[in-house]
Chain A
Amino acid sequence: MATTPVVNEGALPPGRAQSFVRRLQAGEELAYLVTATAAATIFLITALILYELFSQSAVSRHTLGWSFLFTSTWDPVAGNFGALPFIYGTVVTSVLALLIAIPLGVGAAIFLAEMAPMGISNALTFLIELLAAVPSVIYGLLGIFVLIPILQRSVVPALKSVLGGLPIFHGTFYGVSVFSAGIVLAVMIVPFIISVSREVLLSVPNDQREGSLALGSTKWQTTWKVVVPFASTGITGSIFLALARALGETMAVTMVIGNTPQIKASLLAPGNSIASVIASQFAEATGDLYVSSLIELGLVLFGVTFVLNGLARIMIMTTGRKGAH
């Protein structure tokens, strides 16, 4: 957008009119400057955050090097810090959440975009998007007092009686566990998958559907064989977005995961995630290496969510462009 004035200065009569134009120009310059400053501030803030993360983690990055990512001890006494248990916990809870949320979310999105009449679809989507607005700490509250007791009393015993032989369901269930955290996360990310996937599905051009129906397919066949593949990149993007959200989720996970830095095959064992360990230990960490290691964990988390968000955006944009022809 150009910032040249509306009228050509030379075309106006001189004197009062010229200074008026100059003032108008100044207004234009000012408007540009003000908005550009705001935009630059955003850039600065983000750069500052990155800089802080890098500089404050310098001690541990230099002392522990790359092995930080592969060590599994977390020993503040000996100054031995390893990120592996937290990376493991973060990844496992997020993957579990996705395994539950993807079928539910994509299924619901398909229903809302393709199967349900528009009025009902809008109303239900409105309600589901409200689910996305529920604060994390409230999920945590319900996780502690509602979900965990239900899991302890009914779900896990049933699960163990059928699948107890599997290593992932091995061992005693204490309530707080990777499993509980995964379930809470699933409920938290499902609305994101539904919301974005539904929009992506709705953006698939109608001629695709009409072509398929003209060939005699049922609604479901059209949906599954034509519309969904067309929108698949965008749907995958929504999954990446949901994953990025799950990885950074702090409060709900901290309240139900058990705060135990360990790597166990069983989902029923307690664990820890990057965001939770920072939340529980940052204010109390004494000693430069301890603090620095926690911040380095933050840097790792930031790096991963950054990559995922970027990929997600690209994928969602690609579907949009396909639809626009």
Chain B
Amino acid sequence: MINRLILPAVAAASLAGVAFAALSLTGAGATFPYPMYSKWFNEYNKLHPDIQINYQSRGSGAGIQQVTEGTVDFGASDGPMNDKQLATFKDKRGCEALHFPTVLGADVPTYNIPGVTADLNFTPAALAGIYLGKITKWNDPEIAKANPKVKLPSSDIVVVHRAEASGTTYIWVDYLSKVSPEWKEKVGVAAAVNWPTGLGGQGNEGVSGQVKQTEYAIGYVELIYAIQTKMPYGNVQNSSGNFVKADLASVTAAAAGAATNMPADFRVSITNAPGKNAYPISSFTWLLIPSHIADANKKKAILDFLHWMLGPGQKMTAALSYAELPKQVIAQEEKAISKIQ
């Protein structure tokens, strides 16, 4: 009977896995850098076939929660842990949570407007108004005045945001709080907020999927998601008044100030950064690593990976439209790696 064959077959398959037993690490967290991390861990595994770094993208909130609970070896988040979360981590794990920036990325406003393929210009007031639910139509004057050459429809705007706790959200609302006092007061800054309006998508993948499926929708996603799914994304007006498109140059420009002024724990916000070419919704993204790792093999693997990430890894970022870390930050991080005991 087939039943008799299944058991030995599956047993063999699972044993086969054990025979090639690699060192396996598990990380979970941000969807923002997921395309980069999945490429990195894939490449790293090709270089070191005995080390498997399994990264599951669930959202920055998951990264913070699971690494605090100790159910994953490292977390990842684009919103740095706040003081309360750091204290909780110290309580539960008995050591510090260290932040290691990996790449620079950008939140872009992506949209699906039938008939409009141009890059729309968005003012800070437009973005805040749309997400506050006060600007409801695409041909609203606030949007139209920045896009005189584009014929905008009178249709309702379908707002899409993240359903779960997300670092991508953190970056977005951090920016909105800086440019809109109303947003700061009504909604605030966190990885999960009480959205005034809109539909929820699961992860960057879900938001881009939702926008792609829904006409007249707008959503915020990490740059690479808009590029890979071939969706149009808009230019955002920065603090100097220029409408800037997110790309390697503009994101790197946004980090210029932080590069020279990076705090010791690497927790910094670079949204709405000064600079005429800076893209205003840029951000670092971090790996969250406990300062004490009991398993010597795992510790070595993580240290090796971090060094590789700061070296050859940085050369792979451009292909996926993430910007490299500034040289000063890399130097600072190389020294910080020694904090992992």
Contact = CB atoms under 8 A, between A and B. Distances in A.
Instruction: Please determine if A and B sit in direct contact within the complex, based on CB atoms under 8 angstroms apart.
Output: yes
A77 B165 contact: no
B214 A175 contact: yes
A260 B65 contact: no
Contacts of A148: 213
Q: Which of A75, A172, A259, A281 has the most CB of B within 10 A?
A: A259
B87 to A, nearest CB: 12
Interface string B193-224: 11100111110000000100110010000000
A238 to B, nearest CB: 33
A191 interface: no
B194 A73 contact: yes
A284 B65 contact: yes
Nearest to B56: A283
Interface in A70-117: 73-78, 80
A180 to B, nearest CB: 12
Given A75-B193, A172-B156, A286 B202 contact: no
Contact of B213 (A76, A78, A144): A144
A286 B213 contact: no
Contacts of B188: 77-78
A263 B328 CA distance: 50
B190 A76 contact: yes
A285 B200 contact: no
Interface string A121-160: 0000000000000000000000010001000000000000
Q: Is the interface of A mostly helix, strand, loop or mixed?
A: loop
A74 B165 CA distance: 13
A174 interface: yes
B64 A286 contact: yes
B156 A283 contact: no
A67 B286 CA distance: 38
Contact of B193 (A77, A285, A287): A77
A281 B194 contact: no
A248 interface: no
Given A281-B164, A283-B62, A258 B194 contact: no
B3 to A, nearest CB: 19
Nearest to B163: A259
Contacts of A260: 195, 198-200
B147 interface: no
Given A172-B158, A281-B163, A286 B61 contact: yes
30 contacts: A75-B194, A77-B187, A77-B188, A77-B189, A77-B193, A144-B213, A172-B156, A176-B199, A258-B199, A259-B163, A259-B199, A259-B200, A259-B201, A260-B200, A272-B200, A280-B163, A280-B200, A281-B163, A283-B28, A283-B59, A283-B61, A283-B66, A284-B59, A284-B164, A284-B165, A284-B166, A286-B61, A286-B68, A287-B85, A291-B65
Interface of B: 28, 58-62, 64-66, 68, 84-85, 88, 156, 158, 163-166, 187-195, 198-202, 210, 213-214, 217
